[in-house]
């Protein structure tokens, strides 16, 4: 199951959202802290201003009444609040700030709790306590519009960041798809060079690498096909002359050698062929049954070949590709395996599988890596009988060109098994009657 967090876009999106969330939260917390500090400084300035204003009013206009919320209280009055040592930290800092703004020796106290917040101040030259109202330091507030604006800004920032991450991920996605096609041996068109400078350089290097590999592969294929094609005519003449020999034993031996060389040449031509298979797709189960039936009738001394075909009519492959795959694998099992040889198909949750297995000795674990390399024979004694070391290499190339993957290994100690997997997307779809008309 694919997890979104495993993709580059998913991780970039998660990183961007996390960074934006942390930055907006830090900005909001800093703004709230700064606003509280500004409010505390404003409350100190206001209280200091009111106390100075009351003192000037008493000196200049003693007969004029004071505002309703400002009053003078006699020091002996029981209304004077006691000096409390246990005050909340914000209120204690407020009292200290006000005391710092007053002349030395000024007494500053907070009003009794339960009523309107007041500040009691008495300087050394004051005959009475001056009581002035103060603003609450932490007034209860509902969620203000700042949070709404913060959410809107955060949403727009996330959308812009996700678009930037998507734009950055697209060139990498195209490059990853091209690498996957190149790994399966499929033709790879040039990847557009987009994105940042480093990504453009990487894409340019990949395009150059694909071109060089394609040029080298084409040169090798042309050389191999040319040599194989030029050998076919001398081999035909050699076979004709061998059949005209009088000694039967010598004639049969030369004919067998010529047939082996002809088979090797044909494998060279198949391996060098790099074009797409344009043959008609056929049902794999039905074609496997036909190929196995023909193989039993034609191949002399062939081992027992069994079938276990369960893929159904939806599993279709190009006829020529399928015939070459089966013929090479059956020949390999005939030459090196032991009966019975089993050709099996199945349908899985991801696609279809085709496997050919035998009950021989299999291949040593250290040799499995080299089993499908061209011109490699794991047993030097297998050089005769028309074997060039290309059979499994041809099968791997054909499977990858058809959009599938293959796996070679020993199954349960009962011989070699080649398992080929084809996803649903790689299997040709059956055209309906309406589609064929249009």
pLDDT in tens, 198-219: 888 888 998 999 888 877 777 6
Phi, psi of 135 (to 5 degrees): -80, 145
Mean pLDDT of 64-88: 82
In the Cβ-directed half-sphere of 386, how many Cα atoms lie within 13 Å?
Answer: 19
Is 25 part of a structural domain of the chain? yes
Specify if 265 maps to a domain. Answer: no
Whether 158 maps to a domain, the answer reads no
- Of the two residues 218 and 74, the one the predictor is more confident about is 74
Please say whether the beta carbons of 97 and 40 come within 8 A.
yes
Percent of the chain clearing pLDDT 90 (strictly above): 10
Choose the final residue of a domain: 133, 152, 183. 133
Overall domain count for the chain:
2
- 114 found inside a domain: yes
Segment 143-168 mean pLDDT: 75
Instruction: List, for residues 369-391, the tens digit of each pLDDT value.
Output: 666 565 455 554 444 444 445 66
End-to-end CA distance of the chain: 37
Report DSSP state, residue 382: G
Look at residue 46 and tell me if it is in a domain. Answer: yes
Is it the case that residue 106 has pLDDT exceeding 60?
Answer: yes
Encoded tokens for 303: 């081992």
Q: With contact defined as beta carbons under 8 Å apart, do 317 and 400 qualify?
A: no
Q: Is residue 170 part of a domain?
A: no
Is residue 194 domain-resident? Answer: no
Confirm if 261 and 235 have CB atoms less than 8 A apart: yes
Asked if residue 303 lies in contact with residue 339, where contact means CB atoms within 8 angstroms, the answer is yes
Quickly count: other Cβ atoms within 10 Å of residue 56's Cβ.
Answer: 10
Provide the 10 A C-beta neighbour count for residue 437. 7
* Residue 367, helix vs strand vs coil: helix
Average pLDDT, the chain: 78
Distance, CA of 71 to chain centre: 74
In angstroms, the CA 238 to CA 75 distance is: 136
CA distance 122 to 126: 6
pLDDT at 269: 62
Q: Which helix (H) or strand (E) holds 263?
A: helix 248-272
Secondary structure of residue 408 in the 3-state scheme: strand
Q: How far apart are CA 168 and CA 222, in angstroms?
A: 40
Last residue of a domain, one of 110, 133, 156: 133
The pLDDT value recorded for residue 436 is 43
Report the Cα 323 to chain-centroid distance in Å: 36
Query: What are the phi and psi torsion angles at 77 (to 5°)?
Result: -70, 140
Quote the CA–CA distance of 88 and 37 in Å, as a whole number: 16
CA atoms within a 13 Å half-sphere pointing along the CA-CB vector of 357 = 21
Residue 358 burial class via C-beta count within 10 angstroms: exposed 0-12, middle 13-18, buried 19 and up: buried
Of 35, 128, 46, 33, nearest in space to 94 by CA? 46
Give this prediction's pTM. Answer: 0.47
* Residue range 227-262, pLDDT digits in tens: 666 677 777 777 777 777 777 777 777 777 777 677
Most confident of 23-37, 101-115, 304-318: 304-318
CB hemisphere CA count around 233 (13 angstroms): 4
Among residues 133, 161, 187, the one where a domain terminates is 133
DSSP track, 49-63: HHHHHHHHHHHH-TT
Q: Which domain holds residue 356?
A: 279-434
Rounded distance between C-alpha atoms, residue 392 and residue 329, angstroms = 7
**CB–CB of 79/118 below 8 Å?**
no
Helix (H) or strand (E) holding 152: helix 145-183
Asked whether 263 and 235 are in contact (CB, 8 A), the reply is no
Give me the helix-helix angle, 8-60 and 145-183, nearest 10°: 160
Residue 107 included in any domain: yes
Higher pLDDT, 138 or 415: 415
We report the CATH number of the domain holding residue 413 as 3.30.565.10
Residue 418 sits at the vertex; the CA angle it makes with 268 and 347, to the nearest 5 degrees, is: 120
Confidence (pLDDT) at 353: 95
> Mean pLDDT over residues 317-346, rounded?
87
């Amino acid at each position: 199951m694919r997890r979104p967090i495993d993709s580059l876009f998913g991780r970039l999106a998660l990183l961007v959202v996390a960074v934006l969330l942390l930055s907006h939260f830090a900005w909001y917390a800093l703004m709230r802290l700064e606003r509280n500090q500004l409010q505390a400084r404003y409350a100190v300035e206001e209280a200091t201003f009111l106390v100075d204003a009351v003192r000037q009013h008493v000196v200049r206009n003693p007969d004029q009444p004071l505002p309703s919320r400002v009053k003078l209280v006699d020091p002996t009055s029981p209304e004077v609040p006691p000096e409390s040592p246990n005050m909340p930290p914000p209120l204690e800092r407020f009292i200290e700030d006000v005391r710092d703004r007053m002349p030395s020796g000024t007494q500053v106290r907070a009003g009794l709790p339960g009523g309107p917040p007041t500040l009691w101040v008495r300087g050394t030259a004051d005959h009475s306590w001056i009581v002035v109202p103060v603003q609450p330091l932490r007034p209860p507030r509902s969620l203000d519009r700042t949070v709404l604006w913060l959410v809107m800004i955060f949403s727009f920032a996330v959308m812009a960041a996700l678009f930037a991450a998507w734009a950055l991920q697209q060139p990498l996605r195209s490059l990853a798809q091209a690498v996957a096609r190149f790994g399966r041996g499929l033709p790879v068109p040039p990847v557009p060079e987009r994105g940042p400078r480093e990504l453009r350089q990487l894409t340019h290097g990949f395009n150059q690498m694909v071109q060089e590999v394609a040029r080298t592969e084409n040169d090798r294929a042309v050389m191999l096909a040319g040599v194989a094609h030029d050998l076919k005519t001398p081999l035909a003449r050699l076979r004709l002359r061998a059949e005209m020999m009088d000694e039967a034993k010598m004639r049969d031996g030369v004919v067998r050698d010529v047939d082996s060389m002809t088979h090797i040449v044909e494998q060279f031509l198949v391996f060098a062929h790099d074009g797409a298979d344009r043959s008609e797709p056929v049902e794999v189960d039905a074609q496997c049954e036909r190929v196995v039936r023909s193989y039993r009738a034609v191949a002399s001394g062939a081992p027992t070949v069994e079938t276990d075909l369960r893929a159904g009519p939806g599993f279709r492959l190009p006829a020529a590709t399928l015939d070459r795959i089966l013929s090479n694998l059956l020949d390999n099992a005939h030459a090196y395996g032991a009966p019975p040889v089993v050709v099996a198909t199945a349908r899985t949750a991801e696609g279809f599988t085709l496997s050919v297995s035998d009950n021989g000795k299999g291949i040593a674990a250290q040799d499995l890596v080299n089993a499908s390399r061209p011109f490699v024979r794991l047993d030097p004694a297998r050089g005769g009988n028309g074997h060039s070391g290309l059979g499994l290499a041809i099968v791997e190339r054909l499977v990858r060109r058809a959009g599938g993957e293959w796996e070679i290994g020993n199954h349960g100690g009962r011989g070699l098994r080649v398992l080929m997997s084809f996803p649903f997307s790689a299997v040709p779809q059956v055209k309906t009657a309406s589609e064929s008309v249009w």
